[in-house]
Amino acid sequence: MKTIRLTMAQAVVKYLSAQHIKIDDEVQPIFAGVFAIFGHGNVAGLGQALDQYQDQLPTFRAHNEQGMVHAAIAYAKANKRQRMMACTSSIGPGATNMVTSAALAHVNRLPVLLLPGDYFASRAPDPVLQQLEEFSDPTLSVNDCFKPVSRYFDRIMRPEQIINSLPFAMQTLLDPENCGPVTLSLPQDVQVEAFDYPEEFFAKRTHSIRQIALDDMELTRAVEKLLQSKKPLIVAGGGVHYAKACEALQQFSEKHQIPVAETQAGKGSLAWNHPCYVGAIGVTGANAANNMARQADVVLAIGTRLQDFTTGSRTLFANKKLLQLNVCRFDTIKHNALSLLGDAKLGILQLDKQLSTWKAPQSWFALGQKEIAKWNNYYDQITSISNSSKTQDILPTEAQVLGETKRHGKASDIVVCAAGSLPGELHKLWRTEQVGGYHAEYGFSCMGYEIAGGLGVKMAEPNREVIVLVGDGSYLMLNSELATSVMLGHKMIVVVLDNRGFSCINRLQNATGNRSFNNLLKDCQSVEDGHPEINFALHAKALGAESEKVNNIQELASALGRARSSSKSYLISLVTDSHKISPEGGCWWEVAVPEISSNANSEMIYQAYKKAKTKQLY
């Protein structure tokens, strides 16, 4: 057996460089690169290895560890989980900064390889700088925080251990059911130790994503329920995109005349003007989809984990026959559903074959078209530039900003969002025209994902315009990867909606019977002169981006034109209304309400909360 002598870090990088995947008859590297922020825990080991092999595996320097992992996750999502990135940090705070992003990837079932440095395996210099000392267990480090938020975790204590661990890591990253973050914790002394590795370990390998066909018994049972149905509804989730099943779903829904609603992750499965499309569903949904859901007798959920925003906290699909087509066993039985374990695309094709020429009743299909037509009329009203928005003392709403951004956009645009009220407004109001045109992180709803995520999306889709819509609160939490986008030449447009605080949670605070407190800047403790007036345009300019602040919707339109013609990242900021959101759409969402409160309306709100809970089956 031929061997090659490498350090463990060199072996890791060489192995990752050899992993490829076949996508649409083209073989490509699985790893597009490595985001790295070096410190004493990884600079001598992985830093040297990445430098040595940078022709095979590019290294990108980021500005914040959490941000770089967000970007890597967004890249993987935009690539439908087929291509991805690795991220490396030093030990201590560099590593723990990545834990939040690991949780985000875990919740959203998205692949990312995390390579944090760790303490010395030899323990000779203990306690090394940034080392956590757990007095009862010397084997623990801060990297153990990754265990509950990783699909696969290993601490490499000897250089030869990667021969076993790396293939398991790849299997996890590419497994459609168990897909998620992988963490390989790398003690800094082990990184630089050499070993005689088998040459064949580094041979080029081309992977493929496993496709699981439906079980015959489960398929037969599901077909029986659909054939008996008079009012079927499809709920499309993110799995439709990951399985590349959008075209199959479009054809399936047309042939069988079944209305289709979309989750946050599933949005864009159908174009907004497709005849079967009835809009966004759930708490952030549209009236059309939610009205159809309330009347449906069978709900076919495809590739969705049915979180509370989709189900209205278990009230929207109560007393419905629920079929769950999902590649994950854990998801197929949620909400007492009938399981359809399998790949979304194969499952749709198998259902189509068994259903033959069956169609849902024309009256049901027509009702869906009537409902979405009413919603489209509402969209025109709520996103229009009203006369009041032209005055200086009436601020533009988020809906108006979205409408204007869309009216001056292109079908190929990709909008990116994450937290606050924007995902709710975008889910029901953004008109997606092309597959992949809507990128929301709403599984973990992580403030600060937006700009870093936009960078990752642009790296995956360099020929499409990426528009990041972000509130001032999220921008202040994490904006440093705007500088990274400038440094790497990945231009994106960032629109900051400055509502002067955490307006979404302020509204929720009021809705649960509490007065405004510590959310809007004006309601927080501050010096006598008051809270600062933050100039986001000047801040972005300081990070190297082009930018401008606009005063109204009319100025936004022309600013968007300048942003499109720019060759580098461009930020536009404007002050928006902190109280108004589009009142239509959505359904109940369970948020705990104080049983006892000093607020005069608390008893009424609490009684309404208890009444709403009676709609939950359990």
Q: Are 365 and 487 in the same domain?
A: no
Is the N-terminal amide bond of 127 cis, ω within 30° of 0?
yes
Q: List beta partners, residue 242.
A: none
Q: Are 348 and 431 in the same domain?
A: no
Distances (CA, A) of 426 to 408, 430, 491, 582: 16, 5, 22, 11
* Final residue belonging to a domain, choices 173, 188, 207: 207
Q: Are 365 and 239 in the same domain?
A: yes
Q: Are 202 and 222 in the same domain?
A: no
Tally helices (H) and strands (E) across the chain: 24, 23
Q: Are 280 and 415 in the same domain?
A: no
Placement of tokens 């549209």 in the chain = 286
Residue at 516 is within a domain: yes
Calpha distance 618→383 (Å, rounded)? 38
pLDDT of res. 129 = 86
Residue at 500 is within a domain: yes
Q: Hey, what are 95's tokens?
A: 């590593």
Residue ranges in the chain whose pLDDT is less than 50: 387, 389-392
pLDDT of res. 392 = 44
Residues 206, 22: contact at Cβ < 8 Å? yes
Residue at 463 is within a domain: yes
Residues 481, 452: contact at Cβ < 8 Å? yes
Give every CB contact of residue 83 below 8 A, 6+ residues apart in sequence.
Answer: 21, 23, 28, 29, 30, 31, 32, 75, 76, 460
Looking at this protein, which amino acid is placed at residue 493? Answer: I
pLDDT of res. 320 = 86
Residue at 380 is within a domain: no
Residue at 26 is within a domain: yes
DSSP 322-382: EEEEES-HHHHTGGGPEEEES-HHHHHHHHHHHHTT----HHHHHHHHHHHHHHHHHHHHH
Q: Are 338 and 432 in the same domain?
A: no
Calpha distance 64→85 (Å, rounded)? 16
The full length of the chain comes to 618
Q: Are 596 and 554 in the same domain?
A: no
* Final residue belonging to a domain, choices 149, 184, 207: 207
pLDDT of res. 156 = 98
The conformation of residue 520, written as its DSSP 8-state character, comes to B
Q: List beta partners, residue 493.
A: 467, 570
pLDDT of res. 130 = 85
Residues 331, 305: contact at Cβ < 8 Å? yes
H/E run at residue 196: strand 194-198
Q: Are 340 and 199 in the same domain?
A: no
Give every CB contact of residue 545 below 8 A, 6+ residues apart in sequence.
Answer: 482, 483, 485, 486, 494, 568, 569, 570, 571
**Residues 202-214 pLDDT 10s:** 999 999 999 999 9
H/E run at residue 407: helix 398-407
Domain that holds residue 244: 216-375
pLDDT of res. 391 = 39
Give every CB contact of residue 515 below 8 A, 6+ residues apart in sequence.
Answer: 509, 599
* Total domain count, the chain: 4
pLDDT of res. 388 = 53
